[in-house]
Amino acid sequence: MSDIFDLISVPAPEFRTGPMARHKVSRAEWQLAIDELARGGLSLLSLWASRGAVHMALRRGETGEIGVISVDSRRKTFPSVGVQHPAAQRLERAMVDLFGLSASGAIDARPWLDHGVWGLRHPMGKTSEQAIEAMDYQFLPSEGESLHQAAVGPVHAGIIEPGHFRFTTQGEIVVRLEARLGYAHKGVDALMSGVDARASAHLAARVCGDSSVAYGWAYAQAVEAALGVEVPARAIWLRALMAELERLANHLGDIGAICNDAAFGMMLARTSLLRERVLRECDTCFGHRFMKDVIVPGGITRDLDGEALRRLRVLTGEIGEAFAPLVALYDATASLLDRTVGAGVLSPELAQNFAAGGFVGRASGRDFDARRDLAYAPYDQLEFSVPTRRDGDVNARIWIRIDEVAQSLSLIGQILDGLPQGAIAAELPSRGAAREGLGLIEGFRGDILVWVKFDGRGRIARCHLRDPSWFQWPLLEAVIKDNILADFPLCNKSFNCAYSGVDL
Amino acid sequence: MRKFPLKGLLSRPLSEAAPEVLGEVEELGIALRQKLGRSLAIRLVDAGSCNGCELELQALGNPIYDLEQFGLKFVASPRHADVLLVTGPVTRNMEVALRRTYDAMPAPKWVAAVGDCARDGGCFAGSYAVVGGAAKVLAVDLYIAGCPPDPRALLQGLLGLLERASTGT
Ligand code: SF4
């Protein structure tokens, strides 16, 4: 039996430029990996299935190297990861629903994506036409005196995505929150199988509306790595430019929205103006407010001229200037800080254990950013810092995002200054061998993983997309415990997890 | 803190930062009031969108578009709503919730399908998990195209709906 760490040995630059090796392991070795996950020596990047096998992407804490391992599941079972490593539970339940597998040893066998209304079961595995019983969903129990349950969703009061929250409270205090998601499940995994790389890119940009660029990039990178395509430098720099604009727009909008949920509406009015300003400039420069479909496997579809670069320079100057007094205002408004400081505290241990990405992890001491720690071009040539804090409350998450706004503005400036000349797209080989590739891109919520497998005819055999929110949603449930119910919108917004991104 | 309202008083309205859009938006508003002469309450159901359509619906509330200046208002309960906006391809997991929300609205009521997904399922059409457009579940009065439709298209679409509502077609 090999040392499991020997299999987790690919440094970041390597998987980004060529096909990703995958190691078939025995059940015993799979178990060793699970033990290491539980011990903290490895962190989980993702867990997914394809026909006949279950795969895990892992990262080694000490060295930052990564690896993908697979265990055979042709007998329809595999050793449960979630039983020892809770961060894997929902990924596992989703996979069981789609492929009809059974996770041996699992403590939570409830369906996740399958609500019993598809008219079939196991759409990606051996499909059966017998649907599960629709209403038979048991929420986790709470015991104690004077408990009261509140059910919220899937239709919410605001303009947000669908999901169900089941609160158990004692008086005002939340004793337990359990989310039930899957309402936005569109069957993306199935839609992506058997189509060519271009058609799939269109879908990848529509998995999660606020992260079109990050998803488009992660997907393109996985495809390019699998096929060994070398993307022109200018295209890569412009991708980063779009990624930073996307991050900027989201951070600006959300900082205001969080304050709005603490009844400080003026901040939202101000930051939503700045956000609108960014989106309009994206529209002018890239032809779409969310820059959908600009990134394609091989490069990008739209170049920027000197005028566009000038406009973006003006934009960053203006945003920087207008944002500073808002930050000062946030910091000086006691009634607002009274709501955000100390609310919804996420402990560093939990953030680490779940390998929570993005501002959620970084506000709780998890010093990880794929742009730096799984470095990719052009970030390896740019200067930026990764803000972290350890206090882990709503206030900390706001501050991380405030600091990231400054970093993004600086990055945009550096990209505009250093943008190389040249082509913006490379040809994709029309037909290739059966190959696999991995993409990992830092979106505004955290690291997005895409794993793609090509069949021998240039079509996608399987594409797996893992949103950062898989490792953040469960933490929101931990965070809200012992807070008052009225603080849920505030805590929730400070996480701003994706629904469609995890429901797929 | 006091600096902001003070500056607001002494400077021109913020909305003037974008005159080209505002001109149009203002015209829409006048037409709207002439047509309906009252306010309209809107309820949204995200029936499995990618969230792109929601982002643009949210943008209608920013000070540039300022939806409420036209008497258009998003309301929290379907019982207060005149118009149901539907986004997303209508996933099977959302079908019941969508139908129930519509049933909870008082008549007369209108339905607008927002975005290419709500039209016919968009790029998710044909999936086992998707019904394939709002019209498969409800009678749709108006389609607003786009992926996502931008805030101007959304405003124009709502105006179109009001025209039809007021002429009774
Ligand atoms: S129309 Fe486009 S933006 Fe709207 S939900 Fe569909 S994919 Fe997303």
How would residue B27 be classed by pLDDT, with cut points 50, 70 and 90? low
Pick from A67, A88, A104: which residue ends a domain?
A104
Q: Is the pLDDT of residue B36 over 60?
A: no
Nearest atom in ligand 1 to the alpha carbon of residue B53 is: 4
Integer-rounded Cα radius of gyration of chain A = 22
pLDDT at B167 (0 to 100): 62
Kindly state whether residue A138 falls inside one of the protein's structural domains.
no
Chain B CB contacts of A118 below 8 Å: 92, 128-129
**Does a structural domain hold residue A167?**
no
Residues 6+ apart with CB under 8 A from A73: A49, A52, A53, A54, A99, A101
Distance between the two ends of chain A, CA-based, in angstroms? 37
Report yes or no: A160 and A209 within 8 Å, Cβ to Cβ.
no
**Taking residues B36-54, what's their average pLDDT?**
88
Residues of chain A with pLDDT under 70: 1-2, 134-135, 431-432
Q: Which residues pair with A23 in a beta bridge?
A: A69
**Sequence-distant (≥ 6) Cβ neighbours of residue B98 within 8 angstroms:** B45, B47, B86, B90, B134, B137, B138
- The whole-number average pLDDT for the span B7-18 is 55
Looking at the fold, whether A217 and A354 belong to one and the same domain comes out as yes
Phi, psi dihedral angles at A10 (to 5 degrees) = -95, 120
Q: Can you give the CATH number for the domain in which A391 is found?
A: 1.10.645.10
Q: What is the pLDDT of residues A444-453, one digit of tens each?
A: 999 999 999 9
Looking at the fold, whether A70 and A207 belong to one and the same domain comes out as no
ipTM of predicted complex = 0.94
C-alpha to C-alpha distance for A287 and A117, rounded to whole angstroms: 39
Comparing CA positions, the residue from A156, A341, A152 lying closest to residue A258 is: A341
Residue A66 in any domain: the answer is yes
Which of A76, A104, A132 is the C-terminal boundary of a domain?
A104
3-state DSSP assignment of residue A275: helix
Domain match, A202 and A90 both = no
Which of B86, B116, B123, B143 to probe ligand 1 with, by most ligand atoms within 8 A of CB? B116
Q: Out of A62, A81, A104, pick the residue that ends a domain.
A: A104
- Residue ranges in A105-194 assigned as alpha helix (H): 188-192
Q: Is the CB of B53 under 6 A from ligand 1?
A: yes
Residue A282: inside a domain, yes or no? yes
Q: Does A188 touch chain B (CB under 8 A)?
A: yes
Task: Provide the residue range defining the domain that includes A67.
Answer: 4-104
* A214 and A350 co-located in one domain: yes
Whole-number Å distance between alpha carbons of A416 and A308: 10
- Cα first-last separation, chain B: 50
Is A475 contained in some domain? no
- Lowest-confidence region among A451-465, B2-16, B20-34: B20-34
Q: What is the CATH number of the domain that holds A37?
A: 3.30.460.80
Confidence check: pLDDT of B128 > 90? yes
Longest dimension (CA), chain A: 69
pTM summary value: 0.94
Are A274 and A388 members of one domain? yes
Residues in A 322-341 with any Cβ partner in B closer than 8 A: 325, 329, 332-333
Alpha-carbon span A398 to A395, nearest angstrom: 5
How big is the CA angle at A161 (ends A147 and A469), to the nearest 5 degrees? 80
Burial label, A157 (beta-carbon count in 10 A; 0-12, 13-18, 19+): middle
Going from the Cα of A44 to the center of ligand 1, the distance in angstroms, rounded, reads 30
Task: Provide the number of structural domains found in chain A.
Answer: 2
Assess if residue A453 is contained within a domain. yes
B50 lines ligand 1 (CB under 6 A): yes
Confidence (pLDDT) at B18 = 31
* Residue A496 covered by a domain: no
Q: How far is A261 from chain B (nearest CA, A)?
A: 14
What band does B37 get if pLDDT is binned at 50, 70 and 90? low
- What per-residue confidence (pLDDT) applies to B29? 55
From the CB of B117, is ligand 1 less than 6 Å away? Answer: yes
**pLDDT, position A9:** 86
Percentage above 70 pLDDT, chain B? 75
Instruction: Report chain A residues whose CB lies below 8 A from the CB of B54.
Output: 159-161, 209
3-state secondary structure of A75: coil
In angstroms, rounded to a whole number, what is the distance separating the alpha carbons of residues A138 and A140?
6
Residue B108, preceding peptide bond in cis (omega within 30° of 0): yes
Give yes or no for B150 touching A (CB within 8 A): yes
Interface of B with A in 15-34 (CB under 8 A): 17-18
Whether A250 and A372 map to the same domain: the answer is yes
In this structure, the answer to whether residues A448 and A328 fall within a common structural domain is yes
What is the DSSP pairing of strand A460-466 with strand B40-46? unpaired
Whether residues A86 and A232 share a domain: the answer is: no
Q: Do A266 and B18 touch (CB under 8 A)?
A: no
Strands B40-46 and B72-74: parallel
Distance A221 CA to ligand 1 centre (A): 23
Residue A351 lies in a domain: yes
